[in-house]
């Protein structure tokens, strides 16, 4: 696969566990996502170790700070050679534009930069608790349009919002979706979920999948099965 669609979430507390899982997978079949838990535990070296096994890395740290601080953090991520990284779109236009400007200096080697819209764990009532009066769809659209006009490469959203975003912001803007669960998997703590085929057919570009693969008895086989399902649906 020249452009694998599955980004496997390495939600582990140690580098040893993450590397043990990675060694059971094929880089041609997936990319890997390093989030806050693993990065805080293992530091930048885990990115290099996973890259040495041939994997592209999505550094999922969701930076959100004043513009200069966030932009410098993005630059340090780019120095690591990551394939993709993200910031919270709710950090605002000035923050996102500053990050975009900072990454331009990396030329063709710059990573994809995404804006996080509304976390898939948040319900409408929980958004209201933090002062967001819009429903999740409207808030996602607002932040996605802001990210696009700020020069970002795409956004993180749920599969349910993908058709709306495709209609409003076109096909060239990347959509990356967590909360992906094969039909046989448990939903766990995600509120807005979809199967891999449902997500891709709704306009999603890349799928973040964690426990259905990482907690499988045979992670490599679980990954291969999902890829086969995706390819069969596409044909």
Under 8 Å between Cβ of 112 and 154 = yes
Q: Does 33 qualify as catalytic in the annotation? A: no
**Helix axis angle, 93-104 to 67-79, nearest 10°:** 30
Task: Please report the DSSP string for 21-76 in residue order.
Answer: HHTTS-GGG-EEEE-HHHHHHH-THHHHHHHHTT--EEEEEEE-SSHHHHHHHHHH
Q: Is 105 exposed, middle or buried (0-12, 13-18, 19+ CB in 10 A)?
A: exposed
Residue reference for tokens 């979430």: 9
Distance separating alpha carbons of residues 176 and 172, to the nearest angstrom = 13
What is the DSSP annotation of 92-155? -HHHHHHHHHHHHTTGGGPPEEEEE-S-TT--HHHHHHTT--S-HHHHHHHHHHHHHHTT-SEE
Determine which one of 24, 62, 110, 191 is catalytic.
62
Q: For 156, phi and psi rounded to 5 degrees?
A: -95, 130
How far is the C-alpha of 59 from the C-alpha of 160, rounded, in Å?
24
List, by residue number, the catalytic residues: 62
């Amino acid at each position: 696969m020249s452009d694998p669609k599955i980004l496997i979430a390495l939600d582990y507390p140690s580098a040893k566990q993450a590397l043990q899982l990675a060694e059971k997978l094929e880089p041609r079949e997936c990319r890997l996502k390093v989030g806050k838990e693993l990065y805080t535990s293992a530091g930048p070296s885990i990115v290099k170790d996973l890259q040495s096994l041939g994997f592209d890395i999505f550094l999922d740290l969701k930076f959100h700070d004043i513009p200069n601080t966030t932009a410098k953090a993005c630059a340090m991520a780019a120095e690591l050679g990551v394939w993709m990284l993200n910031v919270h779109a709710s950090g605002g236009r000035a923050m996102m534009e500053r990050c975009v400007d900072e990454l331009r200096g990396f030329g063709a080697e710059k990573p994809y930069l995404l804006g996080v819209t509304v976390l898939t764990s948040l319900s409408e009532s929980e958004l209201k608790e933090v002062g967001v009066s819009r429903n999740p769809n409207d808030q996602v659209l607002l932040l996605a349009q802001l990210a696009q006009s700020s020069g970002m490469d795409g956004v993180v959203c749920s599969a349910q919002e993908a058709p709306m975003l495709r209609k409003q912001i076109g096909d060239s803007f990347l959509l990356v979706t967590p909360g992906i669960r094969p039909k046989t998997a448990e939903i766990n703590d995600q509120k807005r979920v979809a199967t891999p085929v449902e997500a891709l057919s709704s306009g999603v570009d890349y799928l973040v999948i964690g426990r259905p693969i990482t907690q499988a008895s045979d992670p490599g086989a679980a990954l291969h099965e999902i890829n086969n399902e995706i390819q069969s649906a596409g044909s």
